[in-house]
Amino acid sequence: MSFSKVAAALGAAIALSSLASAPAQAEDRRVRIINDTRHTMVRFYASNSSRTTWEEDILGQRVLPAGQSVMINIDDGSGACLYDFKAVFDDGDELTRSQINVCQISEYRYTE
């Protein structure tokens, strides 16, 4: 095989591999968080699973009352799909869930 044919084949392979990785970057990371508990959610954190600390409270000054939901864009720009969630409730309970694939789900329900 000539050098030009090898170079062309290599270029095509590189182009195809970059196309194959593009959809992972473009995944929708919006997740509806549903509070199906009897308590108000006062804080909610979603941190890339590869991180060792929690990001900022996504709810900020807001709360998520029992029986309500909120749509959250859980995209930190890293391209990651696996996130850890932590919800803190007005009674002091904390529920932590690990390795949630936000590229594959559209909602996450907290229940008691």
Q: Which CATH superfamily is domain 27-111 in?
A: Domain of unknown function DUF5300 (2.60.40.2890)
Question: Domain segments of the chain: what residues?
Answer: 27-111
- Residue entry with tokens 């907290």: 110
The reported pLDDT for the residue numbered 1 is 52
Tokens of 6: 């090898």
The reported pLDDT for the residue numbered 30 is 94
The whole-model pTM stands at 0.75
pLDDT tens digits along 9-40: 444 444 444 444 444 445 779 999 999 999 99
Tokens of 25: 């970057």
Residue 72's closest CA among 38, 34, 42, 25? 34
The reported pLDDT for the residue numbered 90 is 98
